[in-house]
Amino acid sequence: MPKYTATLRCRIQPYTDQVERLESFLAQTYGKDIRILVQLDSSLDQGFVLQYGSDTYDWTTDHLQRQFQKALDQEGAEAADGLAYLAKAKELLVNWQPQVKAEELGQVITVGDGIAHIKGLEHVAYQEILIFADGSRGMVVDIQVEQISAIIFGDDTGIEEGSTVYRSGREAGIPLSDDVLGRVIDPLGQPIDGRGPIMASHYYPVEFSAPSIQDRAPVSRPLETGILAIDAMFPIGKGQRELIIGDRQTGKTAIAIDTILNQKGKNVICIYVAIGQRTSSVARLVDKLQKQGAMGYTIVVAAFAGDPAALQYIAPYSGTSVAEYFMKHGRDVLIVYDDLSKHAVAYRSISLLLERFPGREAYPGDIFYLHSRLLERSAQLSLDQGGGSLTALPIVETQSGDISAYIPTNVISITDGQIFLETSLFHAGQRPAINVGLSVSRVGGAAQAPAMKQAAGSLRLLLAQYREIEVFTQFSGDLDQASKAQLLMGQGIMQVLRQNHDAPLARSSEVVLLLVSLKGCLKHFDPSLWRSEIAKFLPELYKQEPMILEKIDQTGLLSPQDRSRILELAAAFWQLDPQEIGCDHA
């Protein structure tokens, strides 16, 4: 038996001189005397497969076709349209020559439940894309001494034990260009909206290192949601990560969608990542965005409930890669992850199938790292890096309001604040059902327009006092006049903070709502009438002082003179004493 042997698999017995030429090729390549053992394989088509160690030289028709297709994909990526693509294909067909090079081929050991265990790929990289014999694709998620494991993107029924696995040499990524705007795509970047292919000019890895501290700038510019309660008390800045958390059916997605709608005309690109949702729900959302004119600046990345766990797992990373493509071109981007609870469940399923040890609530030990490396990619970049920003609104679902569960506490510790939606407030008719005590924005006034900061004033303190008095009245009906006034003021403010879905407010409207409410312009009305009374006043204000409101919208500033003028008009409208609401020292 020779010391070094290689295997030649072919359909028919080769001639002796053919084997000798191949042995000579191996001797020149590896500097060793290598003998070839011939194995007849009726499953092969024309050509042969020569294997020495982990190196494989595939000269079959199928492999040559794949090699040509790969070259065509690389050339065609630069094509601007279909005709240019055909021209590239014709040119390549005339000039293309197959390359003789060693490749690593793997072999499927077992496959099932979207997981394939593979042997033979000794130099494969973590998160590298693999190509199976039936054309399916997968991603390496586990590397061990004897085997590797990969998650499969799509149906695994066409993959059989013993079938060949090819390395792509590429990290998992998504093809991108500006054409992706307004489209609905899957986590692999393929369009699923029936509007034809997307011509890509760049390839972005789904996993990318977060910007360093040197590459970041402080969060100082507001990203307004159009929701009065949030913009006044829990302002969100461009580059911030603000968690939306609450039980099922409490309006979490509604807040995210209103925020997207409010970015119309503000030069902000929005990305909505749907994780494990029903197809019908995503279709209704896309239809709503189209009707509101928001799809022109929005991209939807969807991994549906019926999709494999692998696609649900990479969906938020793919969406973030899309966002980073625009951020690194100097754009402001908003991304919504709906929701990370389902994302964690998908990763738990994959981890258990990979036989990793379960931990708290059956989640693997690296579940914190799963979301931290995702959310840390959100940032406000410095001017040296283009000045773009990526703002994240992750959504997490709780069970019975338990924010101390494993996934909620993880994401709370990663983000820069949270908006907690309370079920009891929701059922009481408060929309949005924000719990003021448990909600917070750690960026705060640094990302708030000066006019909003002035108008909001002591709103949170007022509501906290109102909640205390409200609890007290449940045990005692005796209140002094000051406490009764505080109670009525709090009830009125809660009415003002109520807001319909799909109706984001302009900054100027929010400022006026807060100003006239907190200055006591409506204290003579029943609290249930406050919202309707302000709705009557706003058209009159727009009619008489449109320049003031336009200045607030464009600059975010509210001068003392403009503030005094708004209060004077309010006093005249409701026939109040101007001094009673502070017009004389506004």
pLDDT of residue 108: 93
pLDDT of residue 221: 94
Q: Per-residue pLDDT for 79 more than 70?
A: no
pLDDT of residue 476: 60
pTM given for the model:
0.86
Tell me: the pLDDT tens digits for 241-259? Answer: 999 999 999 999 999 999 9
Tell me: the pLDDT tens digits for 499-554? Answer: 988 889 999 999 999 999 998 888 889 998 998 899 899 999 999 999 999 999 99
Instruction: Give catalytic residue positions.
Output: 442
CB < 8 Å & 24+ apart, contacts of 3-6: 3/33, 4/30, 4/32, 4/33, 4/34, 4/35, 4/52, 5/34, 5/35, 5/36, 5/37, 6/34, 6/35, 6/36, 6/37, 6/50, 6/51, 6/52
pLDDT of residue 102: 67
Cβ partners under 8 Å of residue 306, min gap 6: 279
Peptide bond into 193 cis (omega under 30): no
- Give CA–CA dist 375/392, Å, rounded: 7
pLDDT of residue 580: 66
pLDDT of residue 585: 42
Tell me: the pLDDT tens digits for 384-417? Answer: 999 999 999 999 999 988 999 999 999 999 999 9
- Mean pLDDT for 90-97 is 72
Tell me: the pLDDT tens digits for 486-504? Answer: 888 889 999 999 998 888 9
Tell me: the pLDDT tens digits for 140-174? Answer: 999 998 899 999 998 888 899 988 888 888 899 99
Q: Per-residue pLDDT for 586 more than 50?
A: no
Peptide bond into 358 cis (omega under 30): no
Rounded to an integer, what is the distance from CA 391 to the centroid of its chain?
A: 10
Tell me: the pLDDT tens digits for 459-489? Answer: 988 888 888 888 777 666 677 788 888 888 8
Judged by DSSP in three states, 439 sits in coil
Confidence of residue 100 (pLDDT cuts 50, 70, 90): low
Confidence of residue 26 (pLDDT cuts 50, 70, 90): confident
Tell me: the pLDDT tens digits for 107-150? Answer: 899 999 899 999 988 889 999 999 998 889 999 999 998 899 99
Cα–Cα nearest to 451, from 560, 375, 324, 531: 560
Confidence of residue 373 (pLDDT cuts 50, 70, 90): very high
Confidence of residue 74 (pLDDT cuts 50, 70, 90): low
Cα–Cα nearest to 512, from 472, 550, 485: 550
Q: Per-residue pLDDT for 96 more than 80?
A: no
How many C-alpha atoms does 293 have within 13 Å on its Cβ side?
Answer: 4
Q: Per-residue pLDDT for 276 more than 90?
A: yes
Cα–Cα nearest to 272, from 182, 197, 196: 182
pLDDT of residue 134: 85
Cα–Cα nearest to 200, from 222, 221, 179, 171: 179
The answer to whether residues 302 and 277 touch, using CB atoms and an 8 Å cutoff, is yes
- Give CA–CA dist 381/378, Å, rounded: 9
Percentage of the chain modeled with pLDDT above 70: 94
Percentage of the chain modeled with pLDDT above 90: 55
pLDDT of residue 411: 96
The amino acid sitting at 128 is E
